[in-house]
């Protein structure tokens, strides 16, 4: 165990010497996590040795320690165990060292190692590919800290509800794996939350098929919400768009963001659109535009305006989609504008 209390302590000279010998920039560590240098025990040479064994050169080792100084506070045994764990899903040590360099904090979090191992094996049995599991290890390491039984319970709840909502047994595995790969943070929720959110949708007259549709569209984010915030967001949309319950339901199916975003977020985005001269009627026609931040909307409107495209009089479809989608739309409008109105290579009809 180590402490972050550095009062009336001196930097560990041996640690400093070992770090200097590896060409580590000590000023970066002092700026980032100075407390590491005050610890009585550090394993600089041992950790550097393990990284070197994996194929890391001096520059890479220095970079890893500078970005994650607490790496040197772990024992060789802890890091070798972690190395073996990550090798379960890495193709080779070259890939592993690259991941450590990019995500040192994820690798050097050695808590709950038994849980990490059990969860890696569980995800493999579930059918998740190793490249997806490595993505989880680097971007969502918290899900590996759960006891494996907790993650299994959440998966079983999802499977049960998928079948209860009319999903087929044949498609269930594909559906679960897709949902997990899109949003692994589902596993940080409790099975009770998942159940309550699904029941909320059913109470609001969404059919089983529509609930399934929403789950796929929301990429599992619905499980990170609660019935109170969803209710407030739906009521806000109903008042803004002045629509019936049935019309509201259709709007939500068209744009699940109306369910997912909180009222303050929806208010801000709506206000941004109205400032650009866009009407409520236009937004109601294309509600997906609320999925975009105000900054993105402003940028896209500016680009389209430069081509002479008036967003106020047209529909909002041209604003929608990912960055790539927008670039395709913009390109089409641009080429249409630049296209000559006559064919310059066609022979001219000249009267005698």
With a pLDDT cut of 70, the percent of the chain lying above it is 93
pLDDT of residue 347: 53
pLDDT of residue 50: 96
Asked if residue 8 has pLDDT above 70, the reply is no
SS3 351: coil
> Mind listing the pLDDT tens digit for each residue in 239-265?
999 999 999 999 999 988 898 889 999
Report d(CA 89, CA 105) in Å as an integer: 18
Among all chains, which residue has been given the structure tokens 């022979």?
347
Q: How remote is the C-alpha of 106 from its chain's centroid? A: 16
Question: What value does the mean pLDDT of the chain take?
Answer: 88
pLDDT of residue 2: 54
pLDDT of residue 345: 53
CB 38 within 8 A of CB 10: yes
Report d(CA 300, CA 198) in Å as an integer: 35
Token reading at 334: 């641009």
> Mind listing the pLDDT tens digit for each residue in 175-212?
999 989 888 988 988 888 888 888 899 898 899 999 88
Tell me which H or E stretch contains 129.
Answer: none
Helix%, strand%, coil% for the chain, nearest 5 = 70, 0, 30
Per-domain residue ranges of the chain: 10-110
CB 56 within 8 A of CB 101: yes
| 332 pLDDT tier (thresholds 50, 70, 90) | confident
pTM above 0.85, yes or no: no
Report d(CA 245, CA 253) in Å as an integer: 12
Asked if residue 4 has pLDDT above 50, the reply is yes
Asked if residue 53 has pLDDT above 90, the reply is yes
């Amino acid at each position: 165990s180590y402490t972050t209390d550095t009062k009336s302590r001196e930097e560990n000279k041996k640690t400093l010497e070992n770090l200097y010998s590896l060409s580590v920039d000590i000023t970066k560590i002092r700026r980032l996590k100075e407390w590491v240098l005050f610890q009585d025990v550090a394993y600089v040479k041992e950790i550097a040795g393990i990284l070197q064994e994996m194929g890391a050169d001096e520059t890479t080792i220095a970079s890893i320690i500078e970005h994650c100084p607490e790496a040197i506070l772990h024992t060789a045994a802890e890091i070798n165990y972690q190395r073996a764990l990550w090798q379960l899903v890495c193709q080779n040590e070259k890939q592993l060292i690259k991941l450590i360099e990019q995500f040192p904090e994820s690798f050097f979090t050695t808590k709950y190692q038994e849980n990490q191992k059990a969860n890696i094996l569980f995800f493999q049995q579930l059918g998740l590919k190793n490249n997806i599991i490595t993505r989880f290890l680097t971007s969502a390491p918290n899900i590996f800290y759960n006891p494996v039984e907790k993650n299994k319970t959440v998966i079983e709840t999802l499977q049960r509800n998928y079948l209860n909502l009319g999903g087929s047994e044949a498609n269930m595995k594909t559906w679960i794996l897709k949902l997990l790969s899109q949003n692994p943070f589902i596993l940080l929720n409790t099975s009770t939350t998942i159940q309550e959110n699904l029941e909320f949708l059913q109470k609001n007259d969404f059919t089983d098929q529509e609930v399934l549709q929403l789950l796929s569209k929301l990429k599992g984010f619905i499980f990170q919400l609660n019935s109170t915030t969803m209710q407030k967001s739906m009521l806000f949309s109903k008042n803004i768009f002045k629509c019936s319950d049935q019309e509201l339901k259709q709007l939500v199916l068209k744009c699940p963001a109306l369910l997912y975003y909180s009222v303050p977020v929806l208010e801000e985005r709506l206000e941004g659109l109205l400032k650009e001269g866009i009407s409520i009627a236009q937004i109601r026609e294309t509600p997906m535009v609320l999925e975009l931040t105000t900054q993105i909307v402003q940028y896209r409107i500016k680009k389209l305006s430069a081509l002479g495209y008036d967003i106020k009089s047209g529909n909002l479809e041209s604003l929608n989609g990912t960055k790539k989608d927008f670039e395709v739309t913009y390109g089409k409008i641009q080429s249409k504008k630049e296209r000559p109105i006559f064919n310059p290579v066609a022979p001219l009809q000249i009267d005698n």
